Homo-oligomer: A and B are copies of this chain.
Amino acid sequence: MARWEPNAAERLTEAAMALFEERGYAKTTVGDIATRAGLTERTFFNHFSDKREVLFAGSEQFVGTIVEAARAAPKAEAPLDVVIAAYASTSDFFEERRPFARRRSALIAAHPELQERELVKMMSVAAALTEVLVQRGASAATATLAAQTGGAILRVGFEQWTRDAKDRSLAFHLRAARRQLEGIVRGRPAGSRRSSTS
């Protein structure tokens, strides 16, 4: 028998999410979270580098998955398609935990402090993808632009995914956003807006 209850980090995350939902991020102290998980404040900081990280723990491994998918893409694939395929590789992962992802996503949307952290994480993924693209032979400028644009597509696609009443996959929404982007870059929105007067 284990000396302590197992899954301390997981318990802390669950406690944190529950408290953030009840009282909000600012009104929840790290001590509150730890107590709710049956631990002490110091133990919280042994598991997470700071209060925000409690919602971003799995992200390192996540970056790894995405980078791996990018590396595995066919040599001939164009940069933007590599990036989108890489993000799409996480689709199944999200599919399995749609409720959790939605809950988490709502918390982040409601708290600027958490948005800050999420944006940095996304940018670090974009940076990693940029490097992969360069290794695949793209110019630095092309790689950066493709990775950054892919990030834009992901933000839009992910938002659609969380809102989608039909529960279509993230990969689906990424493809949709990518297609729409083609029209936008050419100056013709996908909806082919007919605002001849207004």
Contact = CB atoms under 8 A, between A and B. Distances in A.
A81 B188 CA distance: 11
A26 interface: no
A148 to B, nearest CB: 4
Given A152-B149, A184-B149, A186-B182, A191 B142 contact: yes
B180 A137 contact: no
Contacts of A116: 116-117, 119-120
A181 interface: yes
Contacts of A169: none
Contacts of A78: 184, 187-189
Given A116-B117, A152-B148, A79 B141 contact: no
In order of increasing CB-CB distance, the 10 nearest A-B pairs are A78-B187, A148-B152, A119-B119, A116-B116, A142-B190, A142-B189, A137-B195, A139-B190, A185-B185, A149-B152
